[in-house]
Amino acid sequence: MLKTFFKTLSFAAVLSASLASLPAHAEQKSDFKVCWSIYVGWMPWGYLQDSGIMKKWADKYDISVDIVQINDYVESINQYTVGEYDGCSMTNMDALSIPAGGGVDTTALIVGDYSNGNDGIILKNATDLAAIKGQNVNLVELSVSHYLLARALEKVGLSEQDVTVVNTSDADMIATYATDDVTSVVTWKPLLSEIAANDNATLVFDSAGIPGEIIDIMMVNTETLADNPAFGKALVGAWYELMGIMASDTDEGIAARTAMAEASGTDLAGYDAQLASTAMFFTPDKAVEFTKSTELPETMKFVAEFLFDKGILGEGAPSPEFVGVSFPDGSIYGDSANVKLKFDTTYMEMAAKGEL
């Protein structure tokens, strides 16, 4: 199964327009819903629901939390953004462009992992990234693949003007690569692995070259979290209990990873292989350290500039700084009067200190 990142200019524009009429919906309540979609780093959400770990933590705080799988990634973000869900798993890039860019105040509650080789660029019959100059590059346009290409080109002194991006569905990527006129593709695992297995294919750059930039996060509505701290405590407590199990080589840990593998359409070996190129933060202190790092503001600046350049940073955004992003030290990138994406380590730190 795939982690998909489709989004379009029209989607962002329509969503922004629809949000203009939405009322603030935060309030004290006892029943919550979060959504997720298939991806190696997000499979724990399904296991939390099925194993009863989520219910145990929700019961502790006298609330209920329903974790719902949505097969379409963008649709899951869409439904979160319009208020159908209190939280949703998504990348930092999509959180900035869709809910935050659309005006929904969103908080990064659990910074779960970053892609550390799951996304990559493959050239046919060439072994150096610089050889991509002048080529057509097949990828899912306006996705993290597109972002990865832009960042990779910078590394070799090139820009997107030096290539021609050809929008290609992930569903067609393997077949597309097999055609004679296709010479370069950008995609993600497991497609990446399958294409790289061709004799004429060379992986010339992957997300390990921009560590920490494609981040997978459980995002929640900021106002809902502020009014309902028990919601944040229950989610974070459940998550790190499972992280401890998942990271272990115990029978329980292997059983958990096996269940996640089967739920994502692979086996334990396949799932462990995907985990190997995913920098999972199995402990809260590692997640806090990453979220407080000096590199994160720089990453979000790269992301905002990319989104603005592609015209998907909120409707009518006049600059990359249109949407403010705040960080744990209180610093802000962008417009301090329009902070809609917040990196907050409060609850992860509670977990690290054993206070949940």
**Residue range 9-31, pLDDT digits in tens:** 334 444 544 454 444 455 899 99
- Structure tokens given for 167: 């929008």
What DSSP designation does 69 have?
E
Q: Distance (Å, rounded) from C-alpha 144 to C-alpha 160?
A: 14
The string of pLDDT tens digits covering residues 136-172 is: 999 988 788 899 999 999 999 999 999 999 999 878 8
Residue type, 99: P
Residues forming beta bridges with residue 65, ordered by sequence position: 32
The string of pLDDT tens digits covering residues 106-124 is: 999 999 999 999 899 999 9
For residue 26, what pLDDT is reported?
58
Q: Are strands 201-206 and 64-69 parallel, antiparallel or unpaired?
A: unpaired
Provide the greatest CA pair distance for the chain: 60
Residue whose pair of structure tokens reads 């329009």 in the numeric block = 338
Average of per-residue pLDDT across 324-350 = 97
Task: List, in order, residues 6 or more apart from 209 with CB less than 8 Å away.
Answer: 151, 152, 155
- DSSP of 55-67: HHHHHHTT-EEEE
The string of pLDDT tens digits covering residues 188-214 is: 877 888 899 999 999 999 999 999 999
Q: Measuring CA to CA, how many Å separate 312 from each of 114, 160, 203, 319?
A: 22, 17, 29, 11
What DSSP designation does 100 have?
I
Whether the pLDDT of residue 269 is over 50: the answer is yes
Q: Which residues of 283-306 are buried (b: 16+ CB within 10 A; e: fewer)?
A: bbebbbebbeeeebbebbebbbeb
For residue 23, what pLDDT is reported?
42
For residue 93, what pLDDT is reported?
93
For residue 25, what pLDDT is reported?
54
Least confident of 185-189, 242-246, 329-333: 185-189
Q: What is the Cβ-side half-sphere exposure of residue 162, based on CA atoms within 13 angstroms?
A: 14
- Structure tokens given for 345: 């380590």
The string of pLDDT tens digits covering residues 60-117 is: 999 999 999 998 888 899 999 999 999 999 999 999 999 999 999 999 999 999 999 9
Query: Does residue 204 contact residue 121 with C-beta atoms inside 8 Å?
Result: yes
For residue 171, what pLDDT is reported?
80
pTM of the model: 0.86
Q: What is the Cβ-side half-sphere exposure of residue 243, based on CA atoms within 13 angstroms?
A: 24
Q: Distance (Å, rounded) from C-alpha 297 to C-alpha 291?
A: 9
For residue 72, what pLDDT is reported?
81
For residue 133, what pLDDT is reported?
97
Average of per-residue pLDDT across 232-253 = 97
Which residue from 356, 326, 321 is spatially nearest to 341, judged by alpha carbons?
Answer: 326
Query: Does residue 93 contact residue 262 with C-beta atoms inside 8 Å?
Result: no
Q: Across the chain, what does the average pLDDT equal?
A: 90
What DSSP designation does 220 have?
E
For residue 3, what pLDDT is reported?
44
Q: How confident is the model at residue 39 (pLDDT cuts 50, 70, 90)?
A: confident
User: How many CB atoms neighbour CB 331 within 10 A?
Assistant: 11
Top-confidence range, 179-183, 264-268, 315-319: 179-183
Residues forming beta bridges with residue 339, ordered by sequence position: 324
